[in-house]
Amino acid sequence: MNVILFGPPGSGKGTQAKFIVDRFAIPQISTGDMLRSAVKANSPLGVMAKEIMDSGGLVSDEIVLGLVSERVTLDDCKNGFILDGFPRTIPQADSLISLLNGIGKKIDHVISLSVDNSELVVRLSGRRTCSVCGKGFHLAYEKPVKEGFCDSCNNVLVQREDDSEITVLNRLQVYENQTSSLKSYFENLGLLTTVCGSGSISDIQMQICTILDSGGAGDHT
Ligand SMILES: [Zn+2]
């Protein structure tokens, strides 16, 4: 069972991906990890990718697709895989589908975790970290005993630049721009299911199981 998982920052995508990995015993394939290991292994694609990255360029779709193609034919993918962070564009999605087609595989499900922006802003912009020991807190979900200070070492809590409200809104906009057309693309193929990511983690896990247990999209046998 081959799955693509979409979800904005703060949607719990990482948590749910891990759940799918454990529950269905399929690996999570991230393009970043693949690039790093190809470079490390000095494979032909890795050498090409390293040259491009060292010169500050972006690795081409061809290289990434080559890596995906090598990766999904490894033994641990025989029961399926979850793609993480790929595809990001419609041309990439097109190429991915024909690549998989060529090796007798297909995408079975595309799951999109959906959470209201207002909730994502609360989730992300409420994060605080101790400036000294690095312990994490959250203004809504994991408050420090003394406001603004670390429970463990009593030093000042700070907000990461990435989590400031304005940056969060910007990150969410980038996500929306990047994925809205991709989601319609997969919807048109009958592969997309949107899961509300606002409930409890176990609730969302159950919804995901129901979708994935229902077999390949399109073949309701
Ligand atoms: Zn601390």
- Supply the DSSP string of 15-41, one letter for each residue: HHHHHHHHHHT--EEEHHHHHHHHHHH
Per-residue confidence (pLDDT) for residue 32, from 0 to 100:
85
Residues recorded for the chain = 221
Residue 182 CA, ligand 1 centroid: distance in Å:
42
Per-residue confidence (pLDDT) for residue 221, from 0 to 100:
37
Contact 87, 189 (CB under 8 A): no
Residues near ion ligand 1 (Cβ under 5 Å): 130, 132-133, 135, 150, 152-153
Contact 182, 19 (CB under 8 A): no
Residue 198 CA, ligand 1 centroid: distance in Å:
30
Per-residue confidence (pLDDT) for residue 119, from 0 to 100:
95
Residue 156 CA, ligand 1 centroid: distance in Å:
8
Residue 154 CA, ligand 1 centroid: distance in Å:
6
Contact 52, 58 (CB under 8 A): yes
Residue 183 C-alpha from the chain's centroid: 14
Residue 18 C-alpha from the chain's centroid: 10
Per-residue confidence (pLDDT) for residue 77, from 0 to 100:
95
Per-residue confidence (pLDDT) for residue 215, from 0 to 100:
61
Q: Does the 2-26+79-213 domain belong in CATH 3.30.379.10? A: no
Residue 48 CA, ligand 1 centroid: distance in Å:
43
Residue 153 CA, ligand 1 centroid: distance in Å:
4
- Separation between Cα atoms, residue 88 and residue 127, nearest integer Å: 27
- Residue showing tokens 């007798």: 104
Residues 6+ apart with CB under 8 A from 151: 135, 137, 144, 145
Residues labelled catalytic: 13, 88, 127, 160, 171
Q: Please report, in tens digits, the pLDDT of each residue of the chain (221 residues total).
A: 999 999 999 999 999 999 999 999 999 998 888 889 899 999 999 999 999 989 988 889 999 999 999 999 999 999 999 998 899 999 999 999 999 999 999 999 999 999 999 999 999 999 999 999 999 999 999 999 999 999 999 999 999 988 999 999 999 999 999 899 999 999 999 999 999 999 899 999 999 999 998 865 444 43
Contact 204, 113 (CB under 8 A): yes
In this structure, the strands spanning 127-130 and 81-84 are unpaired
Tokens at 163, concatenated: 């989590």
- Supply the DSSP string of 96-165, one letter for each residue: HHHHHHHTT----EEEEEE--HHHHHHHHHTEEEETTT--EEETTTB--SSTTB-TTT-PBEE--GGGSH
Residue 162 CA, ligand 1 centroid: distance in Å:
20
